[in-house]
Amino acid sequence: MTPLSKTLITAALTASLTAACGIFPHLLSSKRMSGEIVDAITGKPIPGAFVSFFWESGIVPSGFTGHNSRTICYHVASAITDGEGRFQVAPWRKWSRYDVEVTDPLAIVYAADYVPMQVVLNVGRGKPPIERLTERYSLTPFRGSVDQRMRMLFWGLANHDCFYGGDSQKSLYPMLRAIYNEARRIARTKDDHDTVQIIARFVAQSATAANPNKPSDEEQIDKFIQEHLR
């Protein structure tokens, strides 16, 4: 066998194994996370603030090459702060058929009447999960217009989904419901109310754990909105 033949065979085997990675379940996990959310000006804790951690990774579907890879959220975990502004997210473990890497999460922090923030916690791919027990997020009070606030509530907050997270996306419901309540409270124009209706669908999709691998159940979504968001 020539060196070239060996090289081609090795490349073919590597490609086959890479394609198969998305077929066989593999274990994903994260360790405990905790911390506090405070007012950036006063330093005082913010009770009832929300933090959601999104674990996201590039994915290579079975039979495709890396050129066709895209990023998905494969797990999300959320928490609400107590009276002292403290939060805690329990460790988790689950099996996945998606060909994703173990990553550190992206944190999205929200409280009514504060400027939301995103915090990239990723310190490198392919490393074991680590505990994060001293997280501290500072939110600045919002002082802008209704139009600015509506855009802020939608972009990067309500529209940040985790459709490939299975039942874990249900943990987003309390935060999305709070965002919906604030948007509905401040909405003034037709465009504002249209945005509120779109946010309502995101709320319903999280509460019902929408599955991107199945046709959208519009009847279930509409029923949830009618029963819980009117």
- The per-residue pLDDT for range 55-108, each reduced to its tens digit, is 998 886 544 444 456 789 999 999 999 999 999 999 999 998 888 888 889 999
Task: Inform me whether the pLDDT recorded for 29 exceeds 70.
Answer: yes
CA dihedral 147, 198, 180, 205 (to 10 degrees): -150
Q: 146 CB contacts (<8 Å, ≥6 apart)?
A: 186, 187, 188, 192
Task: Inform me whether the pLDDT recorded for 115 exceeds 70.
Answer: yes
Mean pLDDT within 113-128: 81
**Whole-number percent of the chain with pLDDT over 70:** 83
pLDDT tier at 212 (50, 70, 90 boundaries)? Answer: confident
107 backbone dihedrals φ, ψ, rounded to 5°: -100, 135
Supply angle C-alpha 103, 105, 107, rounded to 5. 170
Mean pLDDT within 191-197: 97
Q: Three-class SS of residue 14?
A: helix
Output the pLDDT for position 158: 97
Q: What is the pLDDT of the chain when averaged over all its residues?
A: 86
Fold held by 25-142: Immunoglobulin-like (2.60.40)
Q: Three-class SS of residue 61?
A: coil
Domain with CATH 2.60.40.1120 in the chain: 25-142
Mean pLDDT within 121-126: 65
Q: How many CB atoms lie within 10 A of CB 161?
A: 19
Mean pLDDT within 127-153: 94
Output the pLDDT for position 64: 43
